[in-house]
Amino acid sequence: MSSDTFLVYLLAAIGLSLSPGPNGLLALTHGALHGWRRTAFTILGGAVGFTAVIGLSLSGIGALLQTSLIWLTVMKWIGGAYLVWLGIQVWRAPPIGVDLRDAAPSRTGIALFRQGLLSAVTNPKGILFFAAFLPQFIDPARSLGVQFAIMAGTFVGIEIMTELVIASSAHRLSPWLQRVGRRFNRLCGGLFAAIGVALPLRS
C-alpha cells in the first residue's frame, strides 16, 4: 500500500469509526451502565471480532484475485454502489441514543467481551461492508498478508480509541446524539456515499 493510499484509508477509517453502528451503540450503552474501564472488555471483544471479519473479507478478495484481476475492478464498482446505498440508509436512520430502562447490565468482563465480539461478527452487514470497502485500497501487486495487517491494525486501533472516547463520555454523548443525531447521521451517510462514489474512480 502506497503512502498516499494509506493516508486516504486512514482518513476514511476515522470517518467510518465515528459513524453510527452496532458496536458504537454498544460502547455507548455499556459506558453509561458500567463506566469506561469495564466497557474496555466490550471494546476488546469488538476489536477481535472486527479483525476476524476483516480477515474473512480479505480472504474472499484474495480468492477472487487468484482467479482474475478483473474481479478487483468489478468488486470496486459493486462495493462503491453498496456504500452509496448504505449511505442513503444511514442518512434516513433515526437518531441513536441510550435507554437505560431497557438495558440489562452484564455481570462479568467475559460477558461484556462476548457481547462486543458477537456484535461485530454476527452483523451480516459487517462482512458486506468490508467486502465493499477494502477492495478500494487493495494493491494486487503487493502482499495481501501485509495489506491485511496494515488495514486491520489501522481500523481496529482507530475503532478502539473511538469507542473508548464514546464509553468515557456516554452520559454526555447520549443526550447530544438525541438532539442532533439526525444531522449527525446525515453527515455520516454523506461520508459513506462520497466514499462509494469517489474511491472506485481512483486509479
State the pTM of this model.
0.75
What is the pLDDT at residue 172?
77
Q: How confident is the model at residue 41 (pLDDT cuts 50, 70, 90)?
A: very high
Torsion, Cα of 125, 131, 132, 134 (10° steps) = 130
What is the pLDDT at residue 68?
75
For residue 44, pLDDT beyond 90: yes
Percentage of the chain beyond pLDDT 70 is: 90
Q: How many CA atoms lie within 13 A of 23 on its CB side?
A: 34
What is the pLDDT at residue 40?
92
Q: How confident is the model at residue 47 (pLDDT cuts 50, 70, 90)?
A: very high
Mean pLDDT of 99-126: 75
Q: How confident is the model at residue 198 (pLDDT cuts 50, 70, 90)?
A: confident
More confident residue, 157 or 66: 157
What is the pLDDT at residue 158?
93
Per-residue HEC secondary structure of the chain comes to CCHHHHHHHHHHHHHHHHCCCHHHHHHHHHHHHHCHHHHHHHHHHHHHHHHHHHHHHHHHHHHHHHHCCHHHHHHHHHHHHHHHHHHHHHHHCCCCCCCHHHCCCCCCHHHHHHHHHHHHHCCHHHHHHHHHHHHHHCCCCCCHHHHHHHHHHHHHHHHHHHHHHHHHCHHHHHHHHHHHHHHHHHHHHHHHHHHHHHHHHCC
Mean pLDDT of 6-34: 81
Residue written as cell 479483525? 51
CA distance 79 to 195: 10
For residue 196, pLDDT beyond 90: no
Mean pLDDT of 120-126: 76
What is the pLDDT at residue 159?
92
Compute the mean pLDDT over every residue in the chain, rounded to the nearest whole number.
Answer: 81
What is the pLDDT at residue 157?
94
What is the pLDDT at residue 203?
53
CA distance 151 to 54: 8
For residue 103, pLDDT beyond 90: no
Q: Which of 34-43, 145-154, 176-185 has the lowest mean pLDDT?
A: 176-185
What is the pLDDT at residue 164?
93
| Domain locations in the chain as residue ranges | 3-201
